Amino acid sequence: MKFNWGTGVVLAFIGFIAFIMYFVVTMFADNRFKNELVTEDYYGAELLYQKDINKLEKSKELTVNVNYLRTNDGLKVVFPKGFDYTEITGKVFLYRPSNKQLDFETSIVSLSDSTLLIPDKRLVDGRWNIKIDWQYKGNSYLFKESIIY
């Protein structure tokens, strides 16, 4: 068999197709390349997004918004001082972009002061998205931020 340019082109195509097939199979089979959706019901969540926009705008009207700080005990969420902390309700959602199993939600039911402590044992070092959806005297507010813990 003679090796000419036609044979070389055919071998190049076969090599290229084999490389692409190897790449595709590796991407689907390897767990390192698994990507998860932010939410299971993506389109349903998108329809509710306007309510979140309204809450964010309401939060911008506050003179002092919700704040947070890292302590030895965990992440301390600090609500505005001028508000009666006994009337604050809502929920805190922490989303870990790299691992869905670490996501969790905590209810704000009854505060003993103007802070809420999320224990250190619940949080792993790294990037988190925090979403605090809270209500005070019939007004709804929203605080969203990416944090490094």
Domain boundaries, the chain: 42-148
Mean pLDDT across the chain = 86
The whole-number average pLDDT for the span 79-96 is 89
Q: Is pLDDT at 110 greater than 90 in this prediction? A: no
Give the C-alpha separation, 75 to 44, whole Å.
30
Tell me, what's the pLDDT at 13?
Answer: 96
Q: Which fold has domain 42-148?
A: Immunoglobulin-like (2.60.40)
Q: Is pLDDT at 125 greater than 90 in this prediction? A: no
SS3 (DSSP) at 5: helix
Tell me, what's the pLDDT at 36?
Answer: 63
Q: Are 118 and 108 in contact (CB under 8 A)?
A: no
Structure tokens at 147: 């944090």
SS3 (DSSP) at 123: coil
Tell me, what's the pLDDT at 33?
Answer: 66
Tell me, what's the pLDDT at 3?
Answer: 81
Q: pTM of this prediction?
A: 0.66
